[in-house]
């Protein structure tokens, strides 16, 4: 643990928020996982329990499941942010929503509290501008699935102090993960800035009838050593999340190369968002198991 961070307040209990809450609890931090929906919190706690149990069964965690889960406190209001040393925002990739979270947290959290965003593409500097603690705002961009992925981008906004940036790096290391230092707040940061062009090109090739979703994923796993293909990853993350991230980069840069391909825009409009809706690039059963390829 980082000595001056004991309590972590996570805003959002979806795929990313619950994963961040889990890895923080596994590393000894007291966690407050916040969501407006109690049902969403219940689902998140159930998924975290399952995930932690698997790590314990495999001998990757030595503490009992109950001890780790006991560090996570599900809450439906921001009140517990008054006890936070670090807040990590992990809500949907929508600028206005994130701004609202930052403004509310800034009013409640103590003066020493650092506020981080898990955004994959939105300007950290713009979010920092919503607060009265601009030097204490940074990006902590985790990758999905959080418990498994070792990289975390630590993003320095224009206003982030060197002390805050260093603390973010130390915090990531305390989770047993590797910090990727992003020293300038550019749209998409580093990893997505590299990955998104390949993802969009894969979509365009499928859209043009050059290849199938299955062959793209199979080829990348066999030829490029990827554990998951582009479309499998997209379904896990959520097509709406990818769309939101691309639009954020496009709106920031006005560069047409970042505008989401038509096939992605169409699927998002139809509500075919991936594993969470049962249909994305692939089809899934009620337990999230892949059962076929979706029409595209």
Kindly list the structural domains of the chain, giving each domain's residue range(s) and its CATH number in brackets, ordered by start. 7-182 (3.40.50.720), 192-291 (1.10.1040.10)
Told to judge if 192 belongs to the known catalytic residues of this protein, a careful annotator would answer yes
Which residue is catalytic, options 27, 120, 123, 232? 120
- The answer to whether 48 touches 21, Cβ cutoff 8 Å, is yes
Which residue is catalytic, options 13, 89, 141, 169? 141
From first to last of its 296 residues, what are the pLDDT tens digits of the chain? Answer: 887 999 999 999 999 999 999 999 999 999 999 999 999 999 999 999 999 999 999 999 999 999 999 999 999 999 999 999 999 999 999 999 999 999 999 999 999 999 999 999 999 999 999 999 999 999 999 999 999 999 999 999 999 999 999 999 999 999 999 999 999 999 999 999 999 999 999 999 999 999 999 999 999 999 999 999 999 999 999 999 999 999 999 999 999 999 999 999 999 999 999 999 999 999 999 989 999 999 87
Which residue is catalytic, options 93, 153, 169, 232? 153
Told to judge if 120 belongs to the known catalytic residues of this protein, a careful annotator would answer yes
Report the alpha-carbon distance of residue 273 to residue 277 in Å, rounded.
6
Q: Give, for 67, the enclosing helix (H) or strand (E).
A: helix 65-69
Report the alpha-carbon distance of residue 157 to residue 171 in Å, rounded.
17
Which residue is catalytic, options 27, 192, 232, 243? 192
- Rounded to the nearest 10°, the torsion over CA 32, 35, 188, 127 is -80
Q: Which residues pair with 279 in a beta bridge?
A: 274, 283
Q: From edge to edge, which strands make up the β-sheet containing 137-142?
A: 72-75, 30-34, 7-11, 86-89, 114-117, 137-142, 151-155, 178-182
Report the alpha-carbon distance of residue 278 to residue 280 in Å, rounded.
7
Told to judge if 153 belongs to the known catalytic residues of this protein, a careful annotator would answer yes
Q: Give, for 179, the enclosing helix (H) or strand (E).
A: strand 178-182
């Amino acid at each position: 643990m980082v000595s001056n961070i004991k309590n972590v307040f996570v805003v959002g209990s979806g795929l990313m928020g619950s994963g961040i809450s889990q890895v923080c609890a596994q590393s000894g931090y007291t966690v407050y996982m916040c969501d407006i929906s109690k049902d969403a919190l219940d689902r998140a706690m159930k998924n975290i329990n399952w995930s932690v149990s698997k790590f314990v069964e495999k001998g990757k965690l030595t503490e009992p499941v109950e001890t780790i889960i006991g560090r996570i406190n599900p809450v439906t209001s921001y009140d517990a942010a008054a006890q936070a040393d670090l807040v990590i925002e992990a809500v949907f990739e929508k600028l206005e929503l994130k701004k609202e979270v930052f403004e509310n947290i800034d009013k409640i959290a103590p003066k020493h509290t650092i506020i981080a965003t898990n955004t994959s593409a939105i300007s950290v500097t713009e979010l920092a501008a919503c607060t009265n603690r601009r030097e204490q705002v940074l990006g902590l961009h985790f990758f999905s699935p959080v418990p498994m992925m070792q990289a975390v981008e630590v993003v320095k906004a224009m206003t982030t102090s060197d002390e805050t940036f260093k603390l973010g790096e130390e915090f990531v290391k305390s989770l047993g993960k590797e910090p990727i230092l992003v020293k300038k707040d550019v749209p998409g940061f580093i990893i997505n800035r590299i990955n998104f062009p390949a993802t969009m090109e894969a979509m365009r090739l499928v859209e043009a009838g050059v290849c199938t979703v299955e062959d793209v994923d199979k080829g990348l796993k066999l030829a490029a050593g990827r554990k998951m293909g582009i479309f499998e990853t997209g379904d896990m993350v959520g097509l709406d999340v990818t769309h939101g991230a691309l639009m954020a980069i496009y709106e920031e840069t006005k560069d047409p190369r970042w505008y989401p391909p038509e096939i992605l825009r169409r699927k998002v409009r139809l509500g075919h968002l991936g594993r969470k809706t049962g249909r994305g690039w692939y089809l899934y059963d009620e337990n999230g198991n892949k059962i076929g390829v979706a029409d595209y």
